[in-house]
Structure 1
Amino acid sequence: MAYAAWDHPEPLALGSAPLPEYGSGSLSDLLPTLAAGMAVPGMTAAITELTAADRNCVFLVDGLGWEQLRAHPDEAPFLASLLGSSRGGTGRPITAGYPATTATSLASVGTGLPPGAHGLPGYTVRDPATDQLMNQLRWQPWTDPAAWQPYPTVFQLAADAGVHAAQVSSPTFEHTPLTKVALSGGTFHGRLTGEERMDFAAEQLAAGDRSLVYTYYAELDGAGHRYGVDSDTWRGQLMHVDRLVQRLAEQLPPRSALYVTADHGMLDVPFDEQHRIDFDEDWELRAGVALLGGEGRARHVYAVPGAADDVLTCWREVLGEQFWVASRDEAIAAGWFGPPDRFDERVRGRIGDVVAAAHDDVLIIASEREPKESAMVGNHGSMTPVEQLVPLLEVRS
């Protein structure tokens, strides 16, 4: 059931959306900063407080938000110790970028570009060439990866500059299009367990005088989606992540820096009509809409020809104060997808005619067309601190 417009008479001002810190403290700034410290041509050290190291490892824990980490120090004592400077490093939050979702964030990390440049601006987006929704995480339906994301990754640029570049992750990801467009360059090493990845990442760091190594752990995110970010299962996964980070930190070769970060935070959304607005049962929201993309907290809305203005007006009236609702041009100009002067025009048609980013703890689900996603406990995607802020924790040897 839709909310009546009079329940929310004053839509949120677009200027009140807390923009990601593109250019100074976002995921897209991390690898360029590290590569600049290793003298890779064309790279800029945007995160100015990071000190250059000869060997750098980024350990990305899927779903490990800054606020969730700070709320669970007992489950993650080693990580909690990195929030200060007691181990020779510093801990601070950086922002994921919009939307705060895995495919977008991994592309931002690997390319060093904001979403409006690399062109993966959501979980599902319209392919202008086919007018179909494309799932950028699963790469379905398939499209040419090099055409979809044509820029070189930081790993590729580093390898070309003589840096030993490597990714250590699950063997499942070795040949995926997302890995190709976001994280390729140097060598990929598949390892099944987290412990094996930590050990091999340390070996790869030591393999070069200058090294750039990436490793990844996904299961914390899965636990949050299925059971919630304060469930026993999620807490157990956090405890395991804490042990993995300590295991890697204790094996760092000389002149190394380890950075622990994440692709997004997460929040639990209650299962009721007030918090889960069902697009498939809401005639007002469906009116004039050809395709519904994105995800529950970060929607791309594609209008039928000629209906974009009416859809924008309706979504603003119906959603009221609970979402920031912008037109495509407004969202781009406001910098949601990165600085407007870095926006690549090939990406414009992938972004919704209307873009809706959740402010409150609500979702726009689609129970019929997205049954699995609509049933998730933990969710993410928008620009609120609980989703945007991810840790940047440092250990140096």
Structure 2
Amino acid sequence: MAQPTAWEPYPEPLAVDSAPLPEYGSGSLADLLPTLAAGMGVPGTTATITELTPADRNCVFLIDGLGWEQLLAHPDEAPFLASLLAGSRGGTGRPITAGFPATTATSLASVGTGLPPGAHGLPGYTVRNPDTGELMNQLRWQPWTSPRVWQPYPTIFQRAQDAGVHAAQVSSPTFENTPLTKVALSGGTFLGRLPGEDRMDLAAEQLAAADRALVYTYYAELDGAGHRFGVDSDTWRGQLMHVDRLVQRLAEQLPPRSALYVTADHGMVDIPFDEQHRIDFDEDWELRAGVALLGGEGRARHVYAVPGAENDVVTCWREVLGEQFWVASRDEAIAAGWFGPQVDDRVYARLGDVVAAARDDVLIIASEREPKESAMVGNHGSMTPAEQLVPLLEVRS
């Protein structure tokens, strides 16, 4: 990144508290399952999304990568989903917020535990493990660490099962024994099916299996199409059309006294392939100065400084990134509520000494350290509406 000349000062940095916060405690992904469980009488859960009416049987269908703004922009490809939007033939669908960062591992943990990232402790795509000093990829769980030490809280599915509610997860068989599933979505019965149609049929069967049921199902391929080809590509649109048919298939099989909720883990933005929009950390001496580890992802970075260089790094990142990113020290990000109302002690050092969240259509890539991630068309992670807002669509029987 070129350094401004003496007569071209750095842009004024964005204020940390100007970032649009997730609606923790009233309208975030972490509030969904506790609200549904509370409606079924599960002890220790509270209904914080107050407009949701309790149901005996609840199913959450999470579509990876389906942001609210992307759904609104493609009604022709998703006519059934569009019919569930507020103001459309009686639909009541509205957006809720993912949480920060808006990324899969963080969001799935928020959904399953009913806790914000500062509590469940999966606060990014990659974060530093304070015990080893290494970056840990929380989606792939590499390097391996004890799942129950990393995330000790019970899931809502476990609480529901203990309360006599039939709990089940219907997803790809490849996810059954992953550490992320164990810490975020375990409890009850895991049922693996590859075809999406089979998952929909089985989810409906699981809803009907008991008088009270809490069922989760998941579809990942829309997100993959977005990363590879972008959210305005024909491939992504084709995946959205397929997802729309899957939702309708499940909705038409709901047993009596059921509620189906369609949501997502994050939205996505396409970033152009040029130096203006993709700032390469591996080639930028200013951003590298004083940095020991670069974590997170392109639009939501955790930056770990060499001991003693923390203040210099946050100052430099603010100067270099100017109005393109919200740049906060760890304590500033915590105080501003980026990771929720509180951060557990075990989570504190996992957060970057500096946390940078993109406001503009820009990435901090790392072409040598992260070649695959740096080549993605569609990206996510930050607090912009395109990434942060996800649908909450409802079908009742």
Residue matched to 1:378: 378
Cα deviation, residue 90, structure 1: 1.5
1:153-172 equivalences under 5 Å are 153-172=155-174
Q: CA deviation at 1:29?
A: 0.1
Specify which of 32, 35, 43 is matched with residue 33 of structure 1.
Answer: 35
Query: Distance between the aligned counterparts of 2:26 and 2:355, measured in 1?
Result: 25
Inter-partner Cα distance in structure 1 for 2:199 and 2:46: 29
Flag the 1:86–1:253 CA change in 2: closer, same or farther, 3 A: farther
Quote how far apart the aligned CAs of 1:88 are.
6.0
2: CA distance, partners of 1:30 / 1:222 = 24
**Equivalent residue in structure 2 for 1:93, among 75, 95, 99:** 95
Q: 1:63-82, aligned counterparts within 5 Å?
A: 63-82=65-84
> 1:202, CA displacement in angstroms?
0.1
User: Could you tell me the TM-score, scaled by structure 2's length?
Assistant: 0.98
Answering whether residue 355 of structure 2 is matched by residue 355 of structure 1, we say yes
How far did residue 15 of structure 1 move?
1.4
* Counterpart contact for 2:83–2:91, Cα < 8 Å: no
Q: Which runs of 4+ in 1 moved over 2 A?
A: 1-9, 84-89
The aligned amino acid for 1:350 is R
Displacement, 1:364? 0.1
* Structure 1 residues 3 and 183: alpha-carbon distance in aligned structure 2, compared to 1, 3 A threshold: farther
Aligned counterpart in structure 1 of residue 276 of structure 2, from 269, 274, 277: 274
Structure 2 SS opposite 1:216:
strand
- Does the 8 Å contact 1:8/1:321 carry over to 2? no
1:94 maps to amino acid: I
**In 2: Cα distance, 1:19 partner to 1:327 partner:** 16
Structure 1 Cα separation of the partners of residues 90 and 252 of structure 2: 13
Q: TM-score, normalised by structure 1?
A: 0.98
* CA drift at 1:345: 1.0
Equivalent position SS for 1:79 = helix
CA distance in 1, matches of 2:74, 2:111: 25
For residue 388 of structure 1, what is the aligned residue in structure 2?
A: 388
Unaligned runs of 5+ in 2: none
* RMSD after superposition: 1.0
Superposed CA deviations along residues 43-70 of structure 1, whole A, max 9, x for unmatched, are 0000000000000000000000000000
1:141 equivalent in structure 2: 143
Contact 1:66 1:386 in 2 (8 A): yes
Match of 2:256 in 1: 254
- The answer on whether the counterparts of 2:103 and 2:381 sit within 8 Å (CA) in structure 1 is yes
1:352 counterpart SS class: coil
Equivalent residue runs for 1:61-210 within 5 Å: 61-84=63-86, 90-210=92-212
% identical aligned pairs = 88
Closer, same or farther in 2 for the Cα pair 1:2/1:29, shift >3 Å?
Answer: farther
For residue 365 of structure 1, what is the aligned residue in structure 2?
Answer: 365
| CA-to-aligned-CA distance 1:160-190 (integer Å, 9 cap, x gap) | 0000000000000000000000000000000
Counterparts of 2:320 and 2:307 in 1: how far apart (Å)?
21
Looking at structure 2, the residues matched to 92 and 10 of structure 1 have their Cα atoms a distance apart, in angstroms, of: 35
SS in 1 for 2:302: strand
SS of the residue 1:162 aligns to: coil
Q: Deviations over 1:310-333 (max 9, x none)?
A: 000000000000000000000011
How many correspondences in the alignment? 395
Distance in 2 (CA, whole Å) between partners of 1:85 and 1:156 is 36
Say if 1:18 and 1:383, in contact at 8 Å, map to a contact too.
Answer: yes
Alignment partners' CA distance in 2, 1:9 and 1:239: 42
Asked whether the equivalents of residues 82 and 88 of structure 2 are also in contact (C-alpha less than 8 Å), the reply is no
Letter in 1 for 2:334: I
CA contact (8 A) 2:292 2:306 kept: yes
Q: 1:292 aligns with which of 288, 291, 294?
A: 294
- 1:368 aligned partner, one-letter code: E
Aligned to 2:19: 17
Q: State the AA in 1 paired with 2:62.
A: L
- TM-superposed CA distance for 1:16, in Å, is 0.9
Partner Cα distance (2:170, 2:76) in 1: 28
